[in-house]
């Protein structure tokens, strides 16, 4: 009789542990994955071949769920759009495709990319020379 009671206790405990493991697996699978940045930035479709370098202080303005970035240039402004994968965080920090914050508004940046015509980028009211950014560095980086 004691042996049957012990066996039932072991079976009950095993079932409880299995139910808890199953519940954890279900929660892990259904848990929403974090977004890399949370806010969108203007992006350019397809591949961009970098053909120029732009340097200046990064400025940012939020318009709804979009962050609009620009850099003042000699007498005008360059409005920035990015290769696919770039985003922004709620503090307007610019995140690269790996999800790392690479620059904050006010940072002096060196941008590798391709200049285009004068205009605006989708979702941003600022007008200027459109630059498609492929790489961003801070001047202190190698």
For 44-82, the pLDDT digits (tens) are 888 888 888 999 999 999 999 999 999 998 889 999 999
* CA atoms 26, 32, 36, 42: torsion sign: positive
Tell me the range of 44-48, 99-103, 105-109 where mean pLDDT is highest. Answer: 105-109
Provide the 8-state DSSP code for 32: P
pTM of the predicted structure, to 2 decimals:
0.71
**Inter-residue contact 97 to 85 (CB < 8 Å):** yes
Which pLDDT value is given to residue 39?
92
């Amino acid at each position: 009789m004691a042996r049957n009671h012990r066996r039932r206790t072991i079976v009950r405990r095993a079932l409880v542990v299995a139910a808890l493991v199953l519940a954890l697996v279900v929660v892990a699978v259904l848990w929403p994955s974090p977004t890399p940045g949370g806010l969108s930035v203007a992006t350019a479709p397809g591949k961009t071949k970098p053909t120029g370098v732009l340097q200046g202080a990064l400025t940012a303005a939020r318009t709804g769920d979009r962050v609009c970035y620009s850099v003042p240039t000699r007498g005008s402004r360059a409005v920035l759009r990015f290769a696919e994968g770039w985003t922004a965080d709620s503090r307007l920090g610019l995140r690269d495709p790996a999800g790392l914050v690479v620059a904050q508004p006010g940072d002096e940046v060196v941008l590798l990319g391709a200049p285009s015509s004068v205009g605006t980028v989708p979702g941003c009211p600022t007008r200027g020379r459109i630059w498609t950014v492929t790489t961003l560095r801070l001047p202190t980086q190698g």
